């Protein structure tokens, strides 16, 4: 019997077979060839051939102390394999308007180190942002006591559309100068690892399907709802990027009555909350008390905490916010028909006071509302998606001949 694969398809098949074996070893721990055959459906020669390649790349180990092979003679020992999560590392970076977060992860995707640096103000230039980004990355590597040579791939998340050339199409008013930089070169300086650049909402929705609230869901929208609204679209079992990386951008909200712009939940809660405190005749209640009756000290988290406590002013603010955001969700639901909408970003931690209000308001606008949940990843959804994307690329590099176009 000829177990060889056709030459025209073998590179792709080898990559798919390797992915199946790696997934099995990540989830089950050490396994024999027989156990991997059962888990993957692959033949014995294929399992051992792929495992030999993965051993040569350092991604798995062959264990020395092995159990007897099932059904074999007394002297024969089964080959047993174990995933090597520290064969290399990846870095995910979330470059936002107010801060940058770098996460160093092993090949299971588990966090090894993290560093966040705040920018201090929103209008700092691109070079200053990149300088802080590099400090965050260096700090994470230093915490883990790892050299740059251990990094296999880096993914940078940015709040804007990203073209096929890796350049971000950024609004000058909130990311000044960013579009003019070759971000792959700027971030990758000093690394041998490739740098990928992707839209933050796209990465967030990948993270939700990987380890978040959308596991197993093939039609899901992630609505990043912090300072500005953005959406990641995963429909029909795949990420939707569009012809120029702009799918999920929500600038059309400028034309939608009752919405008017892309201000996010956090920004709206802060603005409406400050106005509520400033216009109240008596500076009383949980919201005013939390801010010391100073409208300038209102933050979104204070509004949601006060609403959770039942403060009438805060409850009214939340209702005002969700009335507006419900229009956005209903519009996306009408156009794209998702099964699930995940509210992501730091506002996801607001709890039931936000989600229940959104569900109520969306149900009042449509007879077929989608399921609406808060992200279980909180403000780490974007950086978790960046880690996932870097892991995928590092794994693909095991079989470079199987890349599209090769």
Query: Region 193-211: what's the mean pLDDT?
Result: 96
122 has a pLDDT exceeding 80: no
Q: Where residue 131 falls among pLDDT bands split at 50, 70, 90?
A: very high
Please compute the mean of the pLDDT values over residues 329-357 and round it to a whole number.
Answer: 93
Place of tokens 């008596």: 282
CATH number of 10-83: 1.10.10.10
Other beta carbons within 10 Å of 154? 26
Compute the distance between CA of residue 101 and CA of residue 125 in angstroms, rounded to an integer.
Answer: 17
Backbone dihedral angles phi then psi of residue 279, each to the nearest 5 degrees: -100, -5
Please name the residue that has the structure tokens 């995910």: 92
Rounded-to-integer distance, Cα 339 and Cα 175, Å: 33
As a whole number of angstroms, the distance between CA 217 and CA 227 comes to: 27
pLDDT reported for residue 325:
97
Fold adopted by 215-376: Nucleotidyltransferase; domain 5 (3.30.420)
Query: 105: closest CA among 85, 125, 81?
Result: 85
> Is the domain defined by 89-207+382-402 classed in CATH 3.30.420.40?
yes
| Segment of 64-73, 253-262, 270-279 carrying the highest mean pLDDT | 253-262
Nearest to 69 by CA among 37, 94, 41: 37
For residue 73, what pLDDT is reported?
52
DSSP code, position 179: G
How far apart, in whole angstroms, are the C-alpha atoms of residue 340 and residue 369? 9
Which range has the worst mean pLDDT, 7-11, 84-88, 331-335?
Answer: 7-11
User: Model confidence at 166, in pLDDT bands (50, 70, 90)?
Assistant: confident
Give the model's pLDDT for residue 68. Answer: 58
Contact yes or no for 125/177 (Cβ under 8 A): yes
Nearest alpha-carbon partner for 13 in 46, 36, 58, 54: 46
Q: Is the pLDDT of residue 380 over 70?
A: yes
- Please give the torsion angle defined by the CA atoms of residues 238, 242, 243 and 249, in that order, rounded to the nearest 10 degrees: -160
Residue 341, H or E segment: strand 340-344
Distances (CA, A) of 189 to 13, 89, 105, 130, 131: 34, 17, 19, 11, 11
**Confidence grade of residue 147 (pLDDT, cut at 50, 70, 90):** very high
Structure tokens at 79: 């080959």
Tens digits of per-residue pLDDT, 217-271?
A: 999 999 999 889 999 999 999 999 998 888 999 999 999 999 999 999 999 999 9
Mean pLDDT of 326-341: 97
| Mean predicted lDDT score pLDDT of the chain | 89
For 385-395, write each residue's pLDDT tens digit.
999 999 999 99
Residue 282 has pLDDT above 60, yes or no: no
pLDDT of residue 402: 53
SS3 237: coil
Decide if pLDDT at 71 tops 80: no
Is the entire prediction scored with pTM above 0.95?
no
Largest CA distance in the chain: 88
Looking at residue 70, its pLDDT comes to 56
Positions of CATH 3.30.420.40 in the chain:
89-207+382-402, 215-376
Which pLDDT score, from 0 to 100, does residue 5 have? 44
As a whole number of angstroms, the distance between CA 45 and CA 33 comes to 9
Check whether 7 has a pLDDT greater than 70.
no
Q: How far apart are CA 386 and CA 391, in angstroms?
A: 9
Predicted local confidence at residue 265, as pLDDT: 95
Beta strand pairing call for 99-105 and 111-118: antiparallel
- How far is the C-alpha of 166 from the C-alpha of 356, rounded, in Å? 38
CATH 1.10.10.10 domain position(s) in the chain: 10-83
Predicted pLDDT of residue 135: 97
Dihedral sign of CA atoms 317, 318, 321, 322 in order:
negative
Give the pLDDT confidence score for residue 67 in this predicted structure.
57
Q: Which of 172-181, 254-263, 353-362 has the lowest mean pLDDT?
A: 172-181
Tell me, what's the pLDDT at 120?
Answer: 80
pLDDT of 306 higher than 60:
yes
DSSP-H helix ranges across 175-255: 183-188, 200-211
* Angle of the 352-365 helix axis to the 300-308 helix axis, nearest 10: 90
């Amino acid at each position: 019997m000829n177990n060889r694969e056709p030459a025209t398809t073998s590179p792709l098949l080898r990559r798919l077979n390797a992915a199946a074996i790696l997934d099995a070893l990540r989830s089950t721990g050490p396994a024999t060839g027989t156990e991997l055959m059962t888990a993957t459906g692959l033949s014995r020669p294929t399992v051992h051939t792929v495992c030999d390649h993965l051993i040569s790349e350092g991604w798995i180990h062959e264990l020395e102390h092995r159990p007897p092979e099932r059904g074999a003679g007394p002297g024969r020992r089964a080959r047993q394999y174990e995933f090597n999560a520290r064969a290399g590392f990846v870095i995910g970076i979330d470059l936002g308007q107010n801060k940058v977060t770098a996460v160093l992860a092993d090949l299971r995707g588990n966090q090894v180190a993290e560093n966040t640096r705040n920018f201090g103000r929103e209008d700092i230039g691109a070079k200053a942002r990149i300088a802080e980004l590099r400090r965050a990355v260096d700090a994470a590597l230093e915490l883990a006591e790892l050299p740059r040579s251990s990094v296999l791939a880096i993914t940078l998340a940015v709040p804007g559309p990203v073209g096929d050339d890796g350049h971000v199409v950024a609004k000058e008013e909130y990311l000044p100068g960013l579009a003019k930089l070759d971000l792959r070169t700027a971030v990758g300086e000093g690394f041998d690892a490739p740098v990928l650049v992707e839209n933050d909402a796209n990465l967030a929705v990948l993270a939700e399907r990987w380890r978040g609230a959308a596991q197993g869901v093939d039609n899901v929208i992630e609505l990043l709802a912090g300072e500005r609204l953005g959406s990641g679209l995963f429909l029909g079992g795949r990420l939707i990027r569009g012809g120029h990386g702009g799918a999920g951008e929500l600038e059309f909200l400028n034309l939608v009555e009752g919405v008017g712009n892309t201000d996010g939940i956090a920004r709206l809660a802060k603005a409406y909350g400050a106005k509520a405190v400033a216009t109240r005749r008596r500076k009383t209640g949980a919201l005013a008390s939390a801010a010391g009756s100073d409208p300038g000290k209102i933050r979104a988290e204070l509004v949601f905490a006060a609403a959770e406590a039942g403060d009438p002013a805060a409850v009214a603010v939340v209702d005002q916010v969700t009335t507006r955001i419900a229009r956005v969700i209903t519009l996306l639901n009408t156009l794209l028909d998702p099964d699930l909408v995940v509210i992501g970003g730091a506002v996801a931690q607001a709890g039931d006071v936000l989600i229940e209000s959104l569900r109520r308001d969306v149900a009042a606008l449509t007879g077929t509302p989608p399921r609406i949940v808060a992200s279980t990843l909180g403000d780490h959804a974007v950086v978790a998606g960046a880690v996932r994307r870097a892991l995928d690329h590092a794994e693909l590099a095991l079989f470079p001949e199987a890349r599209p176009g090769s």
